Amino acid sequence: MAKKNSQKLTFSKDTWPILMRMWREWVKPYTGSLLLILCLVILIAGTASLYPVLVKMALDAFTDKSQNIIMVAPIFIIVVTAVKGFSMLGQTVLTNRVVSQIEADMQLKLYSHLIDGDISQIGRQSSAALTQRFTTDFTYIKEALTRISTVFLRDTATIIAVVIAMIWIDPILTLASAVVAPFVAPPIAKIGKKLRRMSTSTQEQIGEMAGLVSESLQGARVAKTYNLEDYLKGKAASSFNEIRLLKVKAANARGRLDPLLEIAGGIALAGVLFLIGWRIMAGQSSVGDFAGFVTALLLASQPIRTLGNLSAIIQEAVAALVRYYAIVDEKPTIVDTPDAKPINVSKGKIRLENVVFKYREDVTALDHITLTIPAGKTTALVGRSGSGKSTMMSLVPRLYDVTDGALVIDGQDIREVTQHSLRDKISVVSQDVMLFDDTIRANIALGRNDADEERIIEAAKAAAAHDFIMKAPEGYDSQVGSMGTRLSGGERQRISLARAFYKNAPILLLDEATSALDSESERLVQQAIRKLMHGRTTLVIAHRLSTVRDADMIVVMEAGKIIETGTHDELITKDGAYARLYRLQLTDDVISPA
Ligand SMILES: Nc1ncnc2c1ncn2[C@@H]1O[C@H](COP(=O)(O)OP(=O)(O)OP(=O)(O)O)[C@@H](O)[C@H]1O
């Protein structure tokens, strides 16, 4: 379930800094294109301001019965509108190009940050909520950028140009129209702020909803067998309903803008009509002035309206940017030291020296563990669920750093070597097989499509995967994504084993599968695993009695502590915790309940 993004936003204060940061980091590199857009904007505004001037001049000329203007005005209008039209097209095309590029740049940064970052950072939010950062949030950001680059620039410039035209036609009337503006500005700003607050709550709620939906779909099998449909439907209904209420509220707030601007426009027009009528009567104004001025007012009213709406869109984007930077600004804690060197693994002896590990201050998962995992041998971890087996395993590739003590491989503290070289020496085979949506070849060869063919086949043969791969329509080039469903659990496991054979790392971390495969698959997988373990330093979370019995050393854990170590025979003779666990589980052929 998505955790609530508990960030409280102080809207007015952080709007500018965050927009400026966005400008500096993402928009500024495209200054060249932006300048081009600006030139087009000036053209658009300039041509727009000519409309009222043309109307005024044409009407005045008609009144004077001037012949020339009848010929010139239509041609002039065509030229002006054509220039404006093409400029608008250019501006839209350029804007879309730049904005899409900025979006892609920002998404890549976010993705790299998450992939390079700590496991704990990714684990803090549901994957559905994180996915949403890439989708919904970017629609807000993109929308705001597009509107700023097109509507905002164009409309601001148009308003300025039209106001200049208005002043030229009749400065006193312009002044009178301007009196209305201060009355509408504050309510518009208030609505904008309200919308941004609502956008944040809506996004949090949508994050929770996305988490709920993806969880239930992933766990559909379980949900059905436990008759959980009504429970899930109830949870979903309340989540959908909360989103609905927030959206209705936001739509109502947004809806208030248009009438507000409409009324303001009406008041301005009425005032102008009254004033100008009065001035025409007094002989201070012409009919041309009147027509030109009203044209200008109408021309300005549309941009003023859209600018009013723009503030709401920007507020939503700022809320999305706050969420974006909250992730991107989080510094990873697991980093290479400046003088980190590649690790040198000769034998692969792993030593935990007084290791303490806490997930949080109050969750001690490993409590002063000292243990030597001998090189080239198999060490089995057994113990009750929650005793700390997986935690110990995840410390070896440095997915987490020890809270206290040290983890040393062949005499080198793993915090002092590069993470890349460390992980190069470790293969992980886990019960939840992770295949990437790519070819079988790429899945075995760790993402490299240009890898050595012979080695790939050798690895697949060692994992007893070659035969079934050859039966697939495109052999090693078959896509795992499209045929993922057609692969059986055992086949998927064998591909993941082939990957470990291909990597050929001296240290093997193995989380044995608990789900039973059919006996033929099971036999093949077991054979392959045994072959893989041979000669490597293997740390295995053992669920099968056979694995435990054959292990060179068994480590029994309880509540984050090691309570016994020894071989199977030694521990049975000792008749302690292991012997009890063994007798208890003997009937199930499972040594540590998952
Ligand atoms: N990401 C996490 N955040 C907080 N606490 C965690 C996290 N992962 C595990 N724990 C806690 O740490 C302790 C050890 O968990 P761990 O997963 O290592 O046990 P385990 O022996 O591997 O259990 P199992 O056999 O069920 O996988 C447990 O109390 C567990 O609740």
Residue 278 CA, chain-centre distance (Å), reads 61
Mutate which of 124, 125, 389 for ligand 1 pocket (most atoms within 8 A of beta carbon)? 389
Rounded distance from Cα 361 to ligand 1 centre (Å): 14
Q: What is the pLDDT of residue 486?
A: 65
pLDDT mean across residues, the chain: 82
When pLDDT is cut at 50, 70 and 90, the band that residue 126 belongs to is confident
Q: What is the pLDDT of residue 196?
A: 64
Q: What is the pLDDT of residue 10?
A: 38
3-state secondary structure 213-242: HHHHHHCHHHHHHCCCHHHHHHHHHHHHHH
- What CATH number belongs to 16-328? 1.20.1560.10
When pLDDT is cut at 50, 70 and 90, the band that residue 8 belongs to is very low
Rounded distance from Cα 323 to ligand 1 centre (Å): 29
Nearest to 413 by CA among 352, 339, 338: 352
Q: What is the pLDDT of residue 3?
A: 37
Bridge-partner residues for 544, per DSSP?
590
Structure tokens at 423: 């992980």
Q: Is the pLDDT of residue 544 over 80?
A: no
Q: What is the Cα–Cα distance from 210 to 502, expressed in whole angstroms?
A: 37
Q: What is the Cα–Cα distance from 120 to 416, expressed in whole angstroms?
A: 20
Mutate which of 355, 363, 563 for ligand 1 pocket (most atoms within 8 A of beta carbon)? 363
pTM of the model: 0.71
Q: What is the Cα–Cα distance from 584 to 381, expressed in whole angstroms?
A: 17
Is the Cα dihedral 267, 271, 272, 277 positive or negative?
positive
When pLDDT is cut at 50, 70 and 90, the band that residue 484 belongs to is low
When pLDDT is cut at 50, 70 and 90, the band that residue 35 belongs to is very high
Q: What is the pLDDT of residues 164-178, one digit of tens each?
A: 888 888 887 788 767
**Would you kindly state where each structural domain of the chain is located, as residue ranges?**
16-328, 433-504
Question: Which one is predicted more confidently, 476 or 375?
Answer: 375
What is 506-540 written as a DSSP string? SEEEEE---SPPPHHHHHHHHHHHHHHHTTSEEEE
Kindly state the helix (H) or strand (E) to which residue 394 belongs, with its residue range. helix 389-395
Question: Which one is predicted more confidently, 228 or 187?
Answer: 228
Range 432-444 average pLDDT:
81
Q: Is the pLDDT of residue 181 over 60?
A: no
Q: What is the pLDDT of residues 324-371, one digit of tens each?
A: 998 899 888 888 899 989 999 888 999 999 999 999 888 889 999 999
Assigned CATH topology for domain 433-504: Rossmann fold (3.40.50)
Q: What is the pLDDT of residue 195?
A: 67
Q: Is 389 in the pocket of ligand 1 (CB under 6 A)?
A: yes
Q: Is the pLDDT of residue 591 over 80?
A: no
Q: Is the pLDDT of residue 460 over 60?
A: yes
Q: Is 388 in the pocket of ligand 1 (CB under 6 A)?
A: yes
Q: What is the pLDDT of residue 563?
A: 93
Range 211-232 average pLDDT:
74
Rounded distance from Cα 379 to ligand 1 centre (Å): 20
When pLDDT is cut at 50, 70 and 90, the band that residue 48 belongs to is confident
Q: What is the Cα–Cα distance from 277 to 286, expressed in whole angstroms?
A: 10
**Cα angle, residue 55 at apex, residues 51 and 59 outer, rounded to 5°:** 170
Range 12-32 average pLDDT:
86
The region of weakest confidence among 15-29, 221-235, 336-350, 391-405 is 221-235
Q: What is the pLDDT of residue 1?
A: 34
Q: What is the pLDDT of residue 433?
A: 76
Q: Is 364 in the pocket of ligand 1 (CB under 6 A)?
A: no
Q: What is the pLDDT of residue 157?
A: 87
Please name the residues in contact with 177: beta carbons below 8 A apart, sequence gap of 6 or more.
Answer: 166, 268, 271, 272, 297
Range 553-574 average pLDDT:
92
